[in-house]
Amino acid sequence: MKSFSSIVIILGSMLFISCQAQQEKVNYFANNAFGNPVVGNTAEYYKGVTYVAYQGEHLDPYVAAYDHKKDQWTGPYKAGTNLLGELLPDKVDSHGKPTLVVDGEGYIHLVFGGHGGTPEMGKNPLGNHHAGKQIHVKSKKPLDISQWEEVDNITPFGTYSQFFKMDNGDIYLIFRHGAHRSNWVYQVSRDNCRTFSPKVSFLKAKPVATRPDGTEDWDSWYPDFRKGRGNDIIMVYNYHFCKGGAERHDGERHHGYYMRFDTDNKTWYNVKGEELQIPVTKEYADSMTLVVHTGDRWNHIGHTCLNHDDHPHVSWYEGDYDGSKHGGLKQLVNYRWTGEEWIGGKTNLPVEARGEMKVTSPDSIQYLLGDSEGKNGELAWWLSTDGGRDFIKKEVLVEETGGRFTTSQFIRNAHPDARIVATQKIKGTNYSKVYLVGDNASIVRAKSDADILNIEELKK
């Protein structure tokens, strides 16, 4: 028979091992992100806390919060129900992943769930239907992510929803007003998202040809937005040739365009400062806002930002430079406005890498890119000092076993310890780990708290 002291030692050892396991730290803060889980404006730093939204189980929106002073995580909490989740398990539809903003009173708002709405919701006056419903929810209390309520003040016909907060406190909601064949619109709230102004179309979708079988081909658009100086919103976009008929429809996209929205006077401008008439059509975009005509090469929209001269830099991902439109969406290209012309082109950045751009001068360009290195995924800075022709890899912020990282936009009003949200797919599943990454590394969390799902069980 074991002595009493031996039993105490054994129990103490078991308790110590258990405590060690409880305190094991990991670089991610949640493992229940689902599909393509993070949209551009998905997080904000506000009064000492970074709030992060992402698409979780059944495509529903989840919100977590990190208190920087207390070094403490809260959540994630489910913030609503995404009707697109009804498509599971047959299809993963990530068009309705959540966008987040904190209003001037400290309430947290999400918009999520849209992929154009359905005919049962009524006629879409600015586009076509598909699935889901664009939904607005608000935290029941300021700075509290534990309880949420739905706010019925936006259209159900939306997708790719994005919040932007201006220096003057105005909050803009930008989205495509339906499925592929729909206008892009904006609305503004000046009362902390209680009400929104009428929708204004700024990019126009329209039919361009009718085929013998009665199906139509359309002009359509894929834009990407960033907050510019002061109360400006800047935008880079590409053209989607939307083919009629399910057997013909694909992701064909071409060309790069740029324009700027001065929200103070509600006027859009091209890079030369010429006022634009909205909504912009394909023909008008070609004559007034074109950066580069890509010819037969397909592309996929990237990013834009301003340098210290307020001249824009733009980027996107383009197919192989062999003239083949089916070369794949592989290489990141970079262009900048000199004040007189757009210059730039192909870079030596890793093929298929994705991430964010930061510019400190016309010649100094940095990308924070998610990429693969052998069996590891990594998030690293790449620097060019020659205007974007040649880049070298600098600091690696996160390196984890698994696939390539994807990222949000840089976090609104970011804390140095939390600049960006990154995700990494978990092999064998449709789930991803979610990371909050700062200037030097990701913010860690206890593994017991971060592992919301039992991934091994999901793989069975």
Catalytic residue among 62, 160, 237, 367: 160
Query: The domain that contains 203 carries what CATH number?
Result: 2.120.10
Instruction: Return the pLDDT at 59.
Output: 96
Catalytic annotation, pick one of 95, 115, 177, 254: 95
459 located within any domain: no
Length of the chain equals 460
Give the single-character DSSP code of 87.
G
**41-78 as b/e, with b when 16 or more CB fall inside 10 Å?**
bbbbbbeebbbbbbbbeebbbbbbbbebeeeebbbbbe
| 299 vs 227: CA distance, rounded Å | 23
Q: Would residue 444 count as lying in a domain?
A: yes
- Could you tell me if residue 114 is inside a domain? yes
Query: What does the alpha-carbon distance between residue 27 and residue 319 come to, in Å, rounded to a whole number?
Result: 33
Domain count, the chain: 1
Question: What is the per-residue pLDDT across 208-237, written as a single tens digit (0 to 9) for each?
Answer: 999 888 889 999 999 999 999 999 999 999
pTM as predicted: 0.93
Q: Is residue 138 part of a domain?
A: yes
In a domain, 3, yes or no: no
Contact 7/15 with Cβ under 8 angstroms? no
Q: Domain of 238?
A: 27-353+439-450
Domain presence at residue 402: no
pLDDT digit string, tens, across residues 361-401 = 888 999 999 988 778 999 999 999 998 889 999 999 999 99
- On the question of pLDDT at 184 being above 80, the answer is yes
Residue 366 lies in a domain: no
Amino acid (1-letter code) at residue 154: I
Q: What is the pLDDT of residues 274-290, one digit of tens each?
A: 999 999 999 999 999 99
Residue 95 annotated as catalytic: yes
Cβ burial of 90 (10 Å; 0-12, 13-18, 19+) is exposed
Do the Cβ atoms of 401 and 391 come closer than 8 Å?
Answer: no
pLDDT: is 458 or 193 the higher one? 193
Strand order of the sheet with strand 72-78?
30-34, 431-437, 418-425, 405-415, 43-46, 49-55, 61-67, 72-78
182 in a structural domain: yes
Catalytic residue check, 160: yes
